[in-house]
C-alpha cells in the first residue's frame, strides 16, 4: 500500500488555515532539542514506542507523521494504515523539508 504524503509547504498552508491536524513526531527525544515543531503541539511518539502507543491516536483525526527525513514516519504511517487509519499522511522529506520549504531558522542535523 502506498504511503500518502504531504509536502511541508502544503502542511504549513493547512496549519495556517486552521485545519484540524494532529502532528505526530516519531523522532527521538535528543532530536527534539535540535530542531522542533513544538509550536504546533505535536504528539511525541519515538519510533521505539510507536507500536505500543499508536492506540493513543484517533482514526477519525487527520494525522501527519514526521521524522527527520521521512523514512521512520513513512514506516509509522504504514503501521497506522494497517490498523485502519485512512486520514494519515507522511511529511515528505521530514523536518529537513520543513526547514527547506518553511522555516530556514531550524537547525540541520
Residues carrying an active site annotation: 67
| DSSP designation for 77 | H
32-61 burial code (b ≥16 CB/10 A, e <16): beebbbeeeebebbbeeebeeebeebeeee
Dihedral of CA atoms 89, 94, 17, 43 in degrees, nearest 10, equals 70
Amino acid at each position: 500500500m502506498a504511503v500518502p504524503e504531504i509536502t511541508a509547504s502544503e502542511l504549513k498552508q493547512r496549519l495556517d488555515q486552521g485545519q484540524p491536524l494532529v502532528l505526530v513526531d516519531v523522532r527521538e527525544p535528543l532530536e527534539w532539542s535540535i530542531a522542533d515543531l513544538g509550536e504546533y503541539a505535536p504528539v511525541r511518539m519515538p519510533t521505539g514506542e510507536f507500536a505500543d502507543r499508536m492506540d493513543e491516536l484517533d482514526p477519525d483525526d487527520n494525522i501527519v507523521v514526521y521524522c527527520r527525513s521521512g523514512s521512520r514516519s513513512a514506516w509509522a504511517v504504514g503501521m497506522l494504515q494497517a490498523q485502519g487509519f485512512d486520514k494519515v499522511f507522511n511529511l515528505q522529506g521530514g523536518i529537513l523539508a520543513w526547514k527547506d520549504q518553511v522555516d530556514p531558522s531550524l537547525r540541520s542535523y
